[in-house]
Amino acid sequence: MDDASEDTFIFGLDFQARSLATLINDEEKSIFIAGTQSLKNENQIYYFAYDENSDQKLFKQTFPHDAGEIWYLAGCPIQGDVFASSYMTTSEACILIGCHLIFVDLKNGMEQFNKRKVTVNEDSQNPLTVAKWDPHHDSCCLTLAQGTAIFGWDSRSNKYFAFLDDFNLKNDNFILGRHI
């Protein structure tokens, strides 16, 4: 940094974080969310909004993510109040792996007004490690990776529409959702 007057922000999280995502907005500020990863199911999603034109340059808020440790966050590319969180919950009897589509009201205190569970292969012991939104078709479709399986999920019908099992680098003919 060449300019000594440039602002630097440091903020600590209650637990270790594994995931960070950006959210779009219609204002001139940068918005990020971070998800913690604790085995105690006391996980949180941290919301940070940075506005260099405001007196209060950094706004931060947290809300609970009681579904489990957050493995991945993905912000919707056209709706700033929608993101997906993939998580893993551990209990005494089993490990639950899943994904939630979380709809939040960013203007009224980050209250969750809708949460939908995405169910893919519940028999798998692999976590959902990647979630990516399709920027086309009103961003209603989400691609999820679980181990070597890839799922296409439609948030309107709450069902998966595409499934590719045992995907690896040898499947080089699979490009952009079309099998050639």
List, as one string, the DSSP characters of 80-108: TTEEEEEEEEE-SS-EEEEEEEEEEETTT
Give the confidence band of 77 by pLDDT, cuts at 50, 70, 90. confident
Q: For the segment 150-170, what is each residue's pLDDT rounded down to a tens digit?
A: 888 787 777 777 777 776 655
pTM above 0.85, yes or no: no
- What kind of fold does domain 17-179 have according to CATH? Methylamine Dehydrogenase; Chain H (2.130.10)
d(CA 84, CA 151): 14
**pLDDT surpasses 60 at 5:** no
Domain spans of the chain, in order of start = 17-179
Q: What is the dihedral of CA 109, 110, 112, 113, to 10 degrees?
A: 60
Lowest-pLDDT range of 7-11, 49-53, 151-155, 170-174: 170-174
CA 65 to chain centre: 11
